[in-house]
């Protein structure tokens, strides 16, 4: 039976109703897998690994195709998948035949967001200005009632997605990304000095902590947990000790705004994208500082008197755990949680990079999933590209696939969301060569 025949929609309230512009027929077409369905049974990888390049012993399949702008997925213990959509709210997928492809689909919410989490019997989601929670029964694909608003009135515009995680102690950590590139006095202008102190840091470019079980909170009710983080789209809790980790999107326009200090080749590689281990009170320095991964140190930004060579006041600030090439755009972070993967991949994090748009004159790059091994809270060796082949080699022009979300399934397989083509991949370790 096709996905279209199994599609059901719900209309529980104005908040939960389907948008009138998205009919059930359009939704079924949007999520219908392009490959012909196989008979019920074990998941079958694509003959070409769905176009991906993977380490030996891994294979990939397409779970669903052309989902409306999927961002971060969440895979439940029974294999159900919830996906935050930047266009239509929450999409839930269920495979009742065991072949790895959904034949039951539910879509609800009507808001655009990037994050979805399950905690204490509720599904949490974000709307760019609020964190909502929906009551949801175990095994259900849809809420059992309307949403509670946990946090409201968060800053809009700029880096707008309010990605979040929920800690073991019921703390809700929310990323509030910066409004601007680097807090300049006259916007993004050439050689414009930065605002010092940058008042944007009072309400943005950091992590705020709230209570996950308290409704009606505003930003002023939260704790300014960490500052100087330009945009932490990828967030994760270390399952071993409950600590908070994030990635950071580095700043742009070094050579555009400061051509006397940086050439285009340097600006293409700098600053690095970063992995942070965050404790309460940490300050990672945005907008005053950036990290030069070629020099392996924090540098003073030119807007604040830097010359590309000196660290200045940035030398005293906390640094990263690991650094990655400039402008790769890390959009998802997940700790290794697969007992089925080889031992090599069991202590570290996987990061989905959305890919660059501004690495000229170098080729555009970074449309991949990498593995960063960790030991004792630090990087143990360089990052490794784990999954590649998402984007054509001509770079950002006409990019067809861009990784943006990661989640492990109960069998240890890794799910990868792709918001450029609306695809959800599943990467499985078989141990076999092909």
- CA nearest neighbour of 404 among 386, 385, 423, 389: 423
Query: What integer pLDDT is reported at residue 395 of this predicted model?
Result: 56
Q: Which of 51, 71, 70, 67 is nearest to 59 (CA)?
A: 51
Q: Is pLDDT above 50 for 4?
A: no
Instruction: Write down the pLDDT at residue 37.
Output: 36
Give me the pLDDT at residue 247, please: 98
pLDDT for 12 equals 35
Q: pLDDT digits over 287-338, tens only?
A: 999 999 999 999 999 999 999 999 999 999 999 999 999 999 999 999 998 8
In this model, does residue 82 exceed pLDDT 60? Answer: yes
pLDDT of residue 400: 85
pLDDT, one tens digit per residue, over 251-271 is 999 999 999 999 999 999 999
DSSP bridge pairs for 424 = 64, 417
pLDDT at 434: 56
Q: Which of 21-25, 27-31, 195-199, 360-364 shows the highest mean pLDDT?
A: 195-199
Q: Are the beta carbons of 308 and 257 closer than 8 angstroms?
A: no
Region 181-192: mean pLDDT is 88
> What pLDDT score was predicted for residue 337?
84
Cα gap 45→41, rounded to integer Å: 12
Q: Mean pLDDT throughout 204-211?
A: 98
* The pLDDT of residue 241: 94
Residue 234 has pLDDT above 70, yes or no: yes
**pLDDT class for 95, splitting at 50, 70, 90?**
very high
What CA–CA distances, in Å, run from 404 to 5, 143, 187, 353, 407? 29, 25, 28, 7, 11
What share of the chain in percent tops pLDDT 70? 88
Q: What is the mean pLDDT of residues 154-159?
A: 96
- What is the gyration radius of the CA atoms in the chain, in angstroms? 21
- 219-228 residue pLDDT tens: 999 999 999 9
The tally of domains found in the chain comes to 1
pLDDT digits (tens, 9 = 90+) for 97-149: 999 999 999 999 999 999 999 999 999 999 999 999 999 999 999 999 999 99
pLDDT one-digit tens code per residue, 339-381: 899 999 999 999 999 999 899 999 999 999 999 999 999 999 9
pLDDT of 33 strictly over 50: no
Q: How far apart are CA 193 and CA 187, in angstroms?
A: 10
What average pLDDT does the structure give for the chain? 90
Q: Can you give the CATH number for the domain in which 161 is found?
A: 2.120.10.30
Please state which of the ranges 4-8, 345-349, 407-411 shows the lowest mean pLDDT: 4-8
- 276: containing domain: 3-432
Element (H, E) at 264: helix 264-269
In Å, what is the CA distance from 57 to each residue of 37, 345, 415? 24, 13, 16
Give yes or no for residue 423 having a pLDDT over 70: yes
Which of these ranges, 10-19, 74-83, 361-370, has the smallest mean pLDDT? 10-19
Closest CA to 148 of 162, 131, 136, 165: 131
Percent of the chain at pLDDT exceeding 90: 83
């Amino acid at each position: 039976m096709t996905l279209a025949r199994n599609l059901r929609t719900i209309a529980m309230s104005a908040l939960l109703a389907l948008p009138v512009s998205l009919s059930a027929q359009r939704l079924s077409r949007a999520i219908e897998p392009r490959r012909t369905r196989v008979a019920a049974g074990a998941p079958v990888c694509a003959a070409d690994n769905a176009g991906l390049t993977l380490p030996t012993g891994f294979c990939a399949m397409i779970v669903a195709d052309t989902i409306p702008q999927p961002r971060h997925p969440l895979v439940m213990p029974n294999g159900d998948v919830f996906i935050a959509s930047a266009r239509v709210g929450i999409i839930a997928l269920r495979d009742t035949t065991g072949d790895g492809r959904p034949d039951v689909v539910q879509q609800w919410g009507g808001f655009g967001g990037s994050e979805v989490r399950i905690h204490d019997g509720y599904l949490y989601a974000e709307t760019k200005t609020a964190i909502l929670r929906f009551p949801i029964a175990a095994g259900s694909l849809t809420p059992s009632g309307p949403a509670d608003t946990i946090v409201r009135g968060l800053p809009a515009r700029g880096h707008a997605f309010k990605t979040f995680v929920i800690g073991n102690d019921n703390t809700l950590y929310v990323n509030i990304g910066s409004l601007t590139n680097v807090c300049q006095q006259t916007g993004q202008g050439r050689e414009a000095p930065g605002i010092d102190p940058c008042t944007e840091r009072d309400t943005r470019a950091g992590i705020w902590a709230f209570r996950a079980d308290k409704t009606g909170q505003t930003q002023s009710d939260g704790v300014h947990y960490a500052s100087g983080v330009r945009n932490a789209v990828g967030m994760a809790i270390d399952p071993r000790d409950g600590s908070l980790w994030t990635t950071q999107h580095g700043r742009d326009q070094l050579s555009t705004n400061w051509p006397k200090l940086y050439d285009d080749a340097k600006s293409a590689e700098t600053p690095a994208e970063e992995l942070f281990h965050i404790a309460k009170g940490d300050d990672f320095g945005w907008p005053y500082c950036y990290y030069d991964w070629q020099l392996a140190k924090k540098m003073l930004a030119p807007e604040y008197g830097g010359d590309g060579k000196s660290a200045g006041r940035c030398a005293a600030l906390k640094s990263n755990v690991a650094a990655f090439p400039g402008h790769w755009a890390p959009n998802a972070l997940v700790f290794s949680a697969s007992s089925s993967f080889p031992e090599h991949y069991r202590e570290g994090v996987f990061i989905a990079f959305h890919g660059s748009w501004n690495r000229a004159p170098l080729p555009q790059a970074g449309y991949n999933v990498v593995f960063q091994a960790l030991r004792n809270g630090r990087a143990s060796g360089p990052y490794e590209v784990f999954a590649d082949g998402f984007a054509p080699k001509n770079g950002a022009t006409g990019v067809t696939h861009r990784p943006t979300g990661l989640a492990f399934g109960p069998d240890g397989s890794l799910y990868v969301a792709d918001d450029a083509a609306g695809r959800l991949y599943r990467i499985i370790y078989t141990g076999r060569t092909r």
